[in-house]
Amino acid sequence: MSDKLKFSILDLSPVPQGSDVRTALDRSLALARHGEALGYERFWMAEHHGMEGIASAATAVALSHIGQGTSTIRIGAGGIMLPNHAPMVIAEQFGTLEALFPGRVDLGLGRAPGSDQRTAQALRRNLNSDANEFPRDVLELQAFLAGDERLGVQATPGQGAKVPLYILGSSLFGAQLAAALGLPYAFASHFAPQMLDEALAIYRRDFKPSDQLAEPYVMCGFNIFAADSEREAEFLASSMWQSFVALRTGNPGKLPPPVEAYRETLPAQAQSMLEKMMQGSAVGSPDMVQQAIERFVERTGADELIISGSIFDQTAREKSYAIVADVRDRIIG
């Protein structure tokens, strides 16, 4: 395993039941500070809309909160759902973040809506867009950040900002686009791992070097719920499992408190759904987490793992990331 393997944090800024958005965002800042002290590479937040359990919808604004309270950890979007926005607006937002926090800002881009159709309509999204719009939007965004005069208008802030772009995806489309543009590729294996192996193979096979990147660079989303024992880790993970089942059955809400033996209460169909999602997960003691990470990295050859773990209790959440940092140090030396 490479001693250059990086570990990062992906945070949806979950809103726990009985809590509010401000508390969720402050918990995210506390986690970012914790991650910075533990040596994590970056702290990314994701764009989701119309969900009372996620506080990071205004992703650039939330990242400003994180950036103001940290000093060295990279911050960024994992990701911005670009079809929801004009590329110029995103260039301005992330150009502003780069001006505030120079040399620390990343911009991950996805083409999913991050919402249901009704919410997408409220965002003024064109629901009849063709598959070519996302690649065109990425190229336009690159042009705005580069200050390309052919656009006839400049993004200010934004032009000249050295904000690295990443393509996000859970299908072959994103892999093909990232390879064609010579950009890093982040696969959403923490919730949709089904096409992981094929997507990574296509990305590495078809990669074309660019000004940003000379060789393929793979990030993989990975859920980790780490605790002193397997039983405790499964208890902590039950909050995220409940949220996942609720989302897939059309009943999303705030992050629920954990419950004992949650998986055993589920019908077979829901258990199967969880099992598929958990291919990109590690739940257990430090040794169990280490073994799961080593198997996953051996399988994927990932250059970086971006760790997600929506845990109800903040102290337990921070302890889980501390355990992962200890495991990381054992793995990479």
Here the CATH number for the domain that contains residue 82 is: 3.20.20.30
Q: How many domains does the chain have?
A: 2
Q: What is the pLDDT of residues 30-66, one digit of tens each?
A: 999 999 999 999 999 999 888 999 999 999 999 999 9
CA–CA distance, 290 with 6 (Å, rounded to integer): 14
Confidence band of 115 (pLDDT split at 50, 70, 90) = low
Q: Is residue 169 part of a domain?
A: no
The span from the first CA to the last CA of the chain, in angstroms, equals: 10
Where residue 117 falls among pLDDT bands split at 50, 70, 90? confident
- Check if the beta carbon of residue 180 is closer than 8 Å to that of residue 198: no
Residues recorded for the chain? 333
Same domain, 138 and 7: yes
Task: Work out the percent of the chain whose per-residue pLDDT is above 90.
Answer: 81
Q: What distance in Å separates the CA atoms of residue 76 and residue 161, rounded to the nearest whole number?
A: 14
Residue finishing a domain among 127, 147, 163: 163
135 and 10, same domain (yes or no): yes
Both 141 and 72 in one domain: the answer is: yes
Residue 180 lies in a domain: no
**Residues 40 and 134 grouped into a single domain:** yes
Q: Is 308 within a domain?
A: yes
State how far the Cα of 88 lies from the Cα of 198, in Å rounded to an integer.
33
148 and 260 both lie in a single domain: no
The 10s digit of each residue's pLDDT in 232-252 is 999 999 999 999 999 888 888
pLDDT tier for residue 96 given thresholds of 50, 70 and 90: very high
Residue 134 lies in a domain: yes
List the structure tokens of 208: 């074309």
CB 17 within 8 A of CB 254: yes
User: How much is the pLDDT for 168?
Assistant: 97
Identify whether 322 is part of a domain: yes
- Domain ranges, residue 58: 1-163
Alpha carbon 36 to chain centroid distance? 17
Q: What confidence category does residue 276 fall into, taking pLDDT thresholds of 50, 70 and 90?
A: confident
Q: Does some domain include residue 174? A: no
